Amino acid sequence: MHSLDLFDTTTRENIAAWLDGPYGEETKNEIKRLLTENPKELEDCFFQRLSFGTGGIRALMGVGTNRLNPFTIQFATQGVANYLKKIYPSPKDRSLKVLIGYDNRNNSSLFATECARVLAGNGIKAFLFEELRPTPLISFGCRLLGCQGAIMITASHNPPAYNGFKVYGSDGGQVLPPYDQKIIDEVALVRSPTDVKIASFDHPLIEKILAKLDRAYLDHLFSLNHWERQNKKEGKQLKIIYTNLHGTGLTLLPQALSDWGFTSISYVEDQKSFDGNFPNARVPNPEEPEALKEGIQLLMHKKADILLATDPDADRIAAVILHQEKPIILSGNELASLLLYHICSSLKEKQQLPANGAVVKSIVTSELFNAIATGFGMNCFDVLTGFKYISQLVEQWSQTQEYTFVLGAEESYGYLAHTFARDKDAISTGCLIAEMALRAKLENKTLFDLLLQLYAEYGIYQESVFSAIYPEGKEGMKQMDKIMTALRKNPPRLFGNAELLFLEDYLESCAFDLISKKTISLSLPKSNVLRFWLDDNSKIVIRPSGTEPKIKIYVGVVEKNVFHIQEQIKMCKERTQALLQSVKSFLFKS
């Protein structure tokens, strides 16, 4: 067996604490095995404690302080319990309540049960879903049940080896800074299983819940139905293919679509099972064409109108349409723009467009979204990547009434068009996509035809994204830090043939005008993100992922003078690729 002296002080202390502490023989034997067979992996398992990213904790499952396992889940939940007790000290008229949900991933049900046991052990009422359910239902249920918080066990669209721990506040939105750090601070004080208060599985403070939340949520969806009579009468004409990619969307989306009148649904049978190994969707991410391959084959075979695909926890949704007998995958940006136009035009036609309407997008999302909003007299707000920042504005406006929230969107297929939940919602969005596609079909059009109409009216916008992958663990983090530092200290002045005019550095909360040499303060929270604006109105955003070892590059170009739309779309796509190549050259040179 190798010696613990191989590791730095922190790693060595973390390993020793687990070998000497009350962690069970199975856990200790796994540590000893890794020490002998794979000390590098053991180092990655213990070199740090888990921390919050843009979506809470998301990590590989396994043994150690840097992995999700029953012990780290208990530690995190104890930290949440301690935090809640400090925020709500000695409530006299009510007990603390937390809702817990989970997806189809391996160990999700086990982790959710451990959360409930710890909460109950701390005297907190734990509503535990009897079965797996989508993330938006947990956000909705948190609000409906008057809970002080909620926990969702999910790793969204990550590979099968991952799981996650998302924490929500009383408003149903994910916890924001500085509260996420306060929870982490509480978790850091939980050093051993002896610091965890844990109850039995049948403790009276653990209550199983399911059916009433399903029906309440589905009933709320009717408020989003812009053309209810048409949907009910003609909805069966829209031929839909649906894949849940082995995830939770199957529990609610088919019923929601049927309730609205969309009853012609076929399924990708190989991807229906709730299997955490994702045997027929190895990358269960609707952003990846590979995940959509089987669905597209069925779409073409049945000559259906549209394929809908949701990720494992059903907060993201992708769409593929059949246009002139060819499948077209709509990007997250295109879908966001189509949804915004559909909602705004429907409200305008019914004379229900709010005078103080507002929409929200992440800084990496298409500027076409902004152009459409402006065209309808809407206010458009940019926020950092992470849907919690969209939810923050929804909650703020619900209190101040300053704006009426209409739609929030992220380019990664995350959308919210209502206020009864506070996280992105693939179920409600799926219904709106179907409504939008039906109206197009009744006019002998597809969603691609509608997209071309948007380009003709607002200009051609094209976007592309690339992820530079780095090693897991400490080495990968060092490489990413080095590259982001180099970009800050010495940014390229030319990207392809375009000159850099304006640089926004969200870590420093400053924007730099390279022409006037002026520095402007930024109002958004600090984050390791850089946004570049170029002299041809292109934009580039570069940021490390908060949950995976990758640096993400987003580019967007625009052509306002539209005359040969198909040729110009091709030219814009070529410009995005040239910009991506320019950035990649810098990253890999660094």
424 & 474 share domain: no
| pLDDT reading at 546 higher than 60 | yes
Note the pTM of the prediction, 2 decimals. 0.95
For residue 313, being part of any structural domain is answered with: yes
For residue 303, being part of any structural domain is answered with: yes
435 & 476 share domain: no
pLDDT at 90: 67
Q: Which of 414, 434, 458 is the last residue of a domain?
A: 458
Q: Specify the number of domains making up the chain.
A: 4
What domain range includes position 11?
A: 1-47
| pLDDT reading at 56 higher than 80 | no
145 & 203 share domain: yes
472 & 572 share domain: yes
For residue 53, being part of any structural domain is answered with: no
For residue 52, being part of any structural domain is answered with: no
For residue 359, being part of any structural domain is answered with: yes
443 & 454 share domain: yes
The arithmetic mean of pLDDT across residues 516-520, rounded, is 91
100 & 200 share domain: yes
| pLDDT reading at 72 higher than 60 | yes
6 & 141 share domain: no
For 211-231, what is each residue's pLDDT tens digit? 889 999 999 999 999 999 999
For residue 184, being part of any structural domain is answered with: yes
The arithmetic mean of pLDDT across residues 520-542, rounded, is 94
452 & 464 share domain: no
CATH number at residue 521: 3.30.310.50
CA count, 13 A, side-chain hemisphere, 85: 14
pLDDT category, 2, cuts 50, 70, 90? low
| pLDDT reading at 449 higher than 80 | yes
pLDDT category, 192, cuts 50, 70, 90? very high
Mean pLDDT, the chain, as a whole number? 94
For residue 171, being part of any structural domain is answered with: yes
Q: State both tokens at 484.
A: 């982001």
Q: For a pLDDT cut of 90, what percent of the chain falls above it?
A: 83
283 & 313 share domain: yes
143 & 225 share domain: no
| pLDDT reading at 590 higher than 80 | no
Q: Which of 423, 458, 493 is the last residue of a domain?
A: 458
Going by C-beta distance under 8 Å and a sequence separation of 6 or more, which residues neighbour residue 166? Answer: 55, 56, 57, 135, 151, 152, 153, 154, 174
Q: Is 156 a catalytic residue?
A: yes
334 & 199 share domain: no
| pLDDT reading at 588 higher than 80 | no
**73 or 474, higher pLDDT:** 73
Catalytic residue among 109, 156, 362, 412: 156
201 & 257 share domain: no
For residue 499, being part of any structural domain is answered with: yes
For 387-404, what is each residue's pLDDT tens digit? 999 999 999 999 999 999
HEC per residue, 22-89: CCCHHHHHHHHHHHHHCHHHHHHHHCCCCCCECCEEEEEECCCCCCECHHHHHHHHHHHHHHHHHHCC
Q: Which of 417, 441, 458 is the last residue of a domain?
A: 458
pLDDT at 92: 57
For 297-317, what is each residue's pLDDT tens digit? 999 999 999 999 999 999 999
pLDDT category, 507, cuts 50, 70, 90? very high
